[in-house]
Amino acid sequence: MSNLKYWVWLSTRKGLAGVSMQRVLEHFGTPQGAYYARGQDVEELTWLHGYVRASLRDKSMAEVDRILDQCDQLGIRVMTRQDAAYPQRLAAIAQPPLVLYAKGRPLVLDDEVAIAIVGTRSCTPYGERVARKLALELTHGGALVVSGMAQGIDAAAVRGALMAGGSVVSVVAGGLDVVYPRFHRRLYEDVAASGLLLSEYPPGTQHKAGHFPVRNRILSGLSLGVVVVESPRRGGALLTANHALDQNRDVYAVPGAVDAPASEGTNRLIQEGAAKLVTCGEDVLCEWRDRFPVKLGVQAPMDPQVVEQRLHHLEQAPQPEQQPPNPQNREKEVDNPESLEYIDWKERRQSLTDDEQEVLLALQEGAKGTDDLVEHTQRPARRVLAALTMLQLQGYVTQGKDKKFRTAVRLKME
């Protein structure tokens, strides 16, 4: 059995992620070591949730075989942390994905001036135009644009990069064969043809609400810098910026009108000194030209008139109508706390960071928004957001349609 199967097997263990995943790897040495661990050895991992230990005892490879067969049929490559093709920038972050699924051109991401462009889905025409312009100018100048595939700023950035005739990388929050939103199918195909689609989720995985904030750490981890185009006071784009700051990446932000809700988050990033103000691609490229003279020193800046012509072409091109959201893709809320499973806090806390412990304890008192958690824990917002991301990844916390976070477990304190 190839080592790849063991990596995929471990990556699909229910509830195993973040610090817990890293501790299991360190305990057993390799995914193969975890696979061949005896039941009694697994039971000694008392800091793991019971259903996680049960998943580790399940040695069936049926799901792994299904995943790898689908990858072969769909032309999807599988990279693990041990592979030379796995981006080292990503491997260096605190909690890198165990496995990456890739479709498209085999880009060497560590050699690229990768710049992520992120922002709100509910963007304004101003934000959409700026995202396209930035992506167009960055790509023409030799950078590699990284973004998601959601509607709004993500899609605008991807289209702008494609219009420049360069490559683009899109990191999605589900299987590479599951197009989300559905009307972006052609955009998926365009990226796969000229760039690269990436995901940590195997084929067939639906895009769930909890996957997006988890995905954001990959966007920033692959990149040298992150540009936030538009974001409200609290949003996924700011979470990506917080991940970037934690990963020692550069953060840039596009200013907006002082009374524009869509620019409240970006304006605050600039005001607090967390991000450099940028208005065009050259504002970012000039930061990296000395370090990457070959990549960024070939093309002369694009003529402003040409930029306007291409942007006008994009704006005039017919866009597919937005489809109503699929209710089956909505994340389930925890409405009945009495039905939640108890976990032993004394044992389980060993697998959590201090920030994650404080946030989970705070949520035991009831659902809370991000601001409430910041006030309750007296921790910086970016650390609270990072903790929430990893708690969601590990199945301890969910986020409801009201944007509030809820615990998915009850703590047994004695």
Q: Are residues 33 and 107 in the same domain?
A: no
Helix (H) / strand (E) element for 296: namely helix 293-296
Given 256, 286, 316, the domain boundary residue is: 316
Structural domain of residue 19, as residue ranges? 3-60
Please count the other Cβ atoms lying within 10 Å of the Cβ belonging to residue 61: 16
d(CA 95, CA 17): 8
If asked whether residues 170 and 106 sit together in one domain, one would say yes
Q: Using an 8 Å Cβ cutoff, are 187 and 180 in contact? A: no
Which residues does 129 contact at the CB level (< 8 Å), separation at least 6? Answer: 156, 311, 315
**Within-domain flag for 68:** no
Residues 4 and 375 sit within 8 Å (Cβ to Cβ): no
Domain of 235: which CATH number? 3.40.50.450
The first and second tokens of residue 365, run together, are 């008192």
Which pTM does this prediction carry?
0.78
CA separation, residue 17 to residues 28, 64, 90, 154, 390 (Å): 15, 17, 16, 26, 8
Neighbours of 313 (CB within 10 A): 10
Phi-psi region of 29 (alpha: psi -120 to 50; beta: other; left: phi over 0): left
- 178 and 30 assigned to the same domain: no
The answer to the question of residue 80 being in a domain is no
Shared domain for 22 and 109, answered yes or no, is: no
pLDDT by position in tens, the chain (length 414):
479 999 999 999 988 887 888 889 999 999 999 999 998 999 999 888 888 899 999 999 999 999 999 999 999 999 999 999 999 999 999 889 999 999 999 899 999 999 999 999 999 999 999 999 999 999 999 999 999 998 999 999 999 999 888 899 999 999 999 999 989 999 999 999 989 999 999 999 999 888 888 899 999 999 999 999 999 988 889 999 999 999 999 999 999 999 999 999 999 999 999 999 999 999 999 999 999 999 897 666 666 766 676 675 666 555 554 444 444 444 444 444 445 667 777 767 777 788 888 888 888 878 888 878 887 887 777 677 777 777 776 778 887 777 788 888 777 775
CATH number of the CATH domain containing 386: 1.10.10.10
Helix boundaries (H) for 141-263: 153-163, 185-194, 211-221, 236-246
Residue 73 counted as domain residue = no
Domain boundary among 268, 292, 316: 316
